[in-house]
Amino acid sequence: MRLFLALVPPPELRERLGELADAAHACCGGRRIPDESLHLTLAFLGEVSDVQAVKLVDWVNHLAVPSGEWRLDGWGHFRRPGILWVGGQSPDPALDILQRRLWDALEGFGLAGRPTRFVPHVTLLRRADSLDADNLPTPDLIWPYRHLVLMRSFTHDDGARYTTLARSS
């Protein structure tokens, strides 16, 4: 099964992000990520076996994650997949440390895939017609977090859908 570790936004923030996604979609087209799928990926694990998944669920359920606040104050894009996202204009040391800690543990589970660069972001559009966010309002949002989740991703023709398998304590 296809898994990743993520932060999910609290309900009010999910609404604000949805509004940004609407504004982005109106200007740039593409496929707007539905509100229920908005997230920040901390680690993409890819395909794992059922045996590994059981171990990961148990690990995440017992994992303690330091709480924090992530500031989202900028737009960004990944050109090739046509992704338009919101994130921080400057690196977030707490998220960087969390991401490194997670990969240290994941490698202990025998998983590979630690990225060379971690760019925390929330994807709002995929396959956008334009990636020019200059006319969009500058975001200024705070994301308070206390838990991470282990998500399973199901691929569909109209985009992936996710289910939560575990949440940190």
Residues that bind ligand ATP (CB under 6 A): 2, 4, 41, 44, 115, 123, 126, 153, 155, 159-160
Neighbouring-strand partners of residue 166: 150
Smallest distance from ligand ATP to CB 137, Å: 24
> In the complex with ligand ATP, which residue's Cβ is closer, 36 or 137?
36
Residues 6+ apart with CB under 8 A from 156: none
Shortest distance, position 156 Cβ to ligand ATP, whole Å: 7
Smallest gap from residue 151 Cβ to ligand ATP (A):
7
Number of other residues whose CB lies within 10 A of the CB of residue 45: 22
Q: Which is nearer to ligand ATP, 49 or 155 (CB)?
A: 155
The two tokens of residue 133 are: 């966010």
Query: Which residues have a Cβ under 8 Å from the Cβ of 49 and sit 6 or more positions away?
Result: none
Q: Which is nearer to ligand ATP, 82 or 139 (CB)?
A: 82
Closest CA to 7 of 113, 92, 98, 93: 98
